[in-house]
Amino acid sequence: MTAAQLFSPEESARIRADFPILTRTVRGGRPLVYLDTGATSQKPTEVIDAERRYYETVNAGAHRGAHLLAEEATDAYEGARSTVARFIGARPADVVFTKNATESLNLVAYAFTNAAAPGAMAGVDPAVAERFRLGPGDEVCVTEMEHHANLVPWQELCRRSGATLRWLPITDDGRLDLTDLDTLVNERTKVLAFTHVSNVLGTVNPVATLVARAKEVGALTVLDACQSAPHLPIDVTELGVDFLAFSGHKMYGPTGVGVLWGRGELLDAMPPFLTGGSMIELVRMEGTTYAPPPQRFEAGSMNVAQVVGLAAAIDFIEGIGLDRIHAHELALTERLLDGLARRPWVRVVGPTDAVDRGSSVAFVVDDVHAHDVGQLLDAEGVEVRVGHHCAWPLHRRFRIAATTRATFGVYNTAAEVDALLAALDTVPAVFGVDVSQQVGA
Amino acid sequence: MDLYQELIIEHSKRPQHAGLRDPFDAEVHHVNPTCGDEVTLRVKVGESGELEDVSYDSIGCSISVASTSVLAEECIGHPLEEVFETYNAMRSMLTSKGADPGDEEVIGDGVAFSGVSQYPARVKCALLGWSAMLDALAQAGVDISATSHPASTSSTTA
């Protein structure tokens, strides 16, 4: 396990100097305390420059045309694919670029629907084709802590196919409740889709246990890695999952680019999601055959500049090292959990220790709505997320409408944790909260 | 900060005329999907064209709860023309980005919400109950075309 360890003040200052936005002020000249990296991260100069440089010196149709610029654009695009592949321990051919993780997850969900079309799986090994056959009597299992992006596509797939959706519940302290794992994931289960790290609770889920059970029953595993890819080292072989999705913009990269990794033999068998230019092998008026992956899943002109920016973001992350980033963020998380524990009028929703934990810390203040808490924090320049964070069922599970959520990135500091706590201390006076009172459940 | 006037805090802690009551002509349920604020609201129109009762159950932030409370206080028992005038004045103030300070003669305690117009993310909170009331009135068969409610000027939104 990684031990919590803050960056030195010098290193922190160096990292922060790399993010132009951190020099701006907010709300009456206050310094910006950005604690919403879980929603989207800020961008370092390297990423902004990589996108600009691409447009200024290379821009052309990647995988289109034979002129020099088109060759260079293709090289930049495919070079970025290799960078992403190396980052997650994968083969470049198994890395698909999308517009975001939501599209990546829909791409997998729609493979089941499209596989049901007549002839869609012709020529595919019957054993592999069978894994994409979904209908009444079959089951898809998710968890109660999923972001809507890894819940709604599976709900919709079940609605279209007649399969049944099941879910693993959450314990009171914010961990997955695995008591009934063997009944919830059973011989009828075709897909087990779950998040690596909860975007609300911060919980790091036991991937090995879940994957082992899925393998026993022959279910495909889909991992939402949005909240882990920028924070924990990821290796697809070690994780053992079949599909993995994440977004570029949460990992210091541009908006508009996401990644889907899938096992080669599965991607090979899957029908396309979006169709059109560049995903084809042969087109006749009567019909079309498809290109092999990853091109099969990259229809139309792609987000080349953003893909190039994502590669720059990965270089940035690797320049610091994910082990060290994780250790730093863990130290910030511990400091915040400590501070909140000393305020009995605040209740953390999620694990209250830093074991198997990412850096999302969600909390409620008794009788004060998260929007109001967030507004007072914003008045002090502290920018957090409020609401249900696209995890409405999770909030229902804890019988709360909304939480206030702080999430950390590589640029955050211990002083910023203290700024959050100080801003939080302005809440009781405004809303008449009894600070000696323990929050009711 | 200027947003949280004492009046808003008071109304949010003790919402006036809260709770769902019978009889009613129409009931609506409105949500603010970005934050999970919810209001269930009923209207009862009287014999002589007055808004006889507005009853509601609201879960949400102080701004949305207090605004619905002020709505009940300012609208219950008033002729519908006055209710529409109050709605229009409230909506105009809230969406003015600070240009319209609000007329106390028309919106009463509603002026406490003038600061909300500086915070675009919160305007929806403050309008939640008011939009629900207009929607409920329309469902009760009342002609709301005299209001600035989006549904009264567009044929596609409900």
- Which tens digit of pLDDT belongs to each residue from B46-59? 999 999 999 999 98
The pLDDT value recorded for residue B151 is 67
How many Cβ atoms from other residues are within 10 Å of residue A221's Cβ? 23
For residue B154, name the pLDDT band (cuts at 50, 70, 90): very low
This prediction has a pTM of 0.93
> Which positions in chain A touch B60 (Cβ < 8 Å)?
369, 371, 401
Q: Please check whether residue A157 is in contact with residue A140, taking contact to mean a CB–CB distance below 8 angstroms.
A: yes
State the DSSP H helix or E strand holding residue A76, giving kind and residue range, or none if neither.
helix A68-88
Q: Is B4 on the interface with A (CB under 8 A)?
A: yes
Q: Which residue has the higher pLDDT, B34 or A121?
A: A121
For residue A388, the chain B residues in CB contact (below 8 A) are 35-36
| Nearest one of A217, A219, A245, A213 to A134, comparing CA atoms | A219
Tens of pLDDT, residue by residue, chain A (441 residues)? 678 999 999 999 999 999 999 999 999 999 999 999 999 999 999 999 999 999 999 999 998 888 999 999 999 999 999 999 999 999 999 999 999 999 999 999 999 999 999 999 999 999 999 999 999 999 999 999 999 999 999 999 999 999 999 999 999 999 999 999 999 999 999 999 999 999 999 999 999 999 999 999 999 999 999 999 999 999 999 999 999 999 999 999 999 999 999 999 999 999 999 999 999 999 999 999 999 999 999 999 999 999 999 999 999 999 999 999 999 999 999 999 999 999 999 999 999 998 999 999 999 998 899 999 999 999 999 999 999 999 999 999 999 989 999 999 999 999 999 999 999 999 999 998 988 877 654
CB contact under 8 A, B4 and A371: no
Q: A388 and B62 in contact by Cβ < 8 A?
A: no
Is A390 one of the annotated active-site residues of the chain?
A: yes
- Shortest Cα distance, chain B CAs vs residue A258, angstroms: 23
- Chain B residues with beta carbon closer than 8 angstroms to that of A392: 36
Residue type at B105 in one-letter notation: E
CB pairs under 8 A between A and B: 50
Q: What is the pLDDT of residue A366?
A: 84
What's the complex ipTM?
Answer: 0.86
Q: CB distance B61–A379 less than 8 Å?
A: no
Chain A within 8 Å of B62 (Cβ-Cβ)? yes
Residue B33's pLDDT band, with cuts at 50, 70 and 90, is confident
- Cα–chain center distance at A155: 19
How large is the average pLDDT for residues B96-106?
Answer: 91
If one compares A217 and B34, the residue with the highest pLDDT of the two is: A217
Which pLDDT does position A108 carry in this prediction? 98
Partner A contacted by B3 (CB < 8 A): yes
d(CA A196, CA A422): 31
- Comparing CB atoms, the residue among A369, A371, A431 nearest residue B9 is A431
> Which of B3, B4, B36 is nearest residue A402 as measured by Cβ atoms?
B36
Residues of chain A in Cβ contact (below 8 Å) with chain B: 368-372, 375-376, 379, 386-388, 392, 395, 401-402, 430-432
How many angstroms separate the CA of residue A392 from the nearest CA in chain B?
A: 8
Minimal Cα–Cα distance from A400 to chain B, Å? 9
Distance from CA of A195 to the nearest CA of B (A): 21
Average pLDDT over chain B, rounded to an integer: 91
Local confidence band at B155 (pLDDT 50, 70, 90 cut-offs): very low
Question: What is the predicted pLDDT for the residue at B153?
Answer: 47
Q: Cα separation of A228 and A234, whole Å? A: 8
Count CA within 13 A, CB hemisphere, residue B114.
Answer: 12
Q: Which residue of B has its CA nearest to A385?
A: B35
Q: Which residues of chain B make contact with A395, given a CB cutoff of 8 A?
A: 36
Cβ of A431 and B3 within 8 Å? no
**Residue B60 forms contact with A (CB below 8 Å):** yes
Alpha-carbon distances, residue A68 vs A58, A74, A146, A226, B152 (angstroms)? 9, 10, 45, 36, 57
Q: Write the DSSP assignment of A323-341 as a string of letters.
A: HHHHHHHHHHHHHHHHHHH
What share of chain B has pLDDT > 90, as a percent? 80
**Residues in chain A within 8 Å Cβ distance of B57:** none
Among A368, A387, A430, the residue with its CB nearest the CB of B35 is A387
Please indicate whether, in this complex, the C-beta atoms of A375 and B122 are within 8 angstroms of each other: yes
Among the options A141, A158, A226, A390, which is catalytic? A390
- Cβ within 8 Å of residue B104, ≥6 positions away: B111
Q: Report the pLDDT value the prediction gives residue B149, as an integer from 0 to 100.
A: 81
- Contact check, Cβ <8 Å, A371/B13: no
Distance from CA of A387 to the nearest CA of B (A): 4
Mutate to test the interface with B, among A200, A349, A366, A369 (most CBs of B within 10 A): A369
Nearest-Cα distance to chain A for B46, in Å, is 35
Beta carbons within 8 Å of A126's beta carbon, 6+ residues apart: none
Residues of B with Cβ-Cβ distance to A372 under 8 angstroms: 4, 61-63
Of A372, A395, A401, the CB nearest to B62: A372
Residues of B in contact with A368 (CB under 8 A): 62
Tell which of B11, B31, B58, B62 to mutate to test the A interface (max A CBs under 10 Å): B62
Backbone angles phi, psi at B96, to 5 degrees: -90, -5
Closest residue of chain B to A433, computed from CA coordinates = B13
Residue in A128, A114, A129, A194 with CA at minimum distance from that of residue A160: A114
Residues B59, A430: C-beta atoms closer than 8 Å? no
Quick check: A349 and A24 in contact, CB under 8 A? no
Report the half-sphere exposure of A253 (CA within 13 A, side-chain side): 32
- What is the distance in angstroms between the Cα of B41 and the nearest Cα belonging to chain A? 18
* pLDDT for residue A440: 55
At B156, is the pLDDT very low, low, confident or very high (cuts 50, 70, 90)? very low
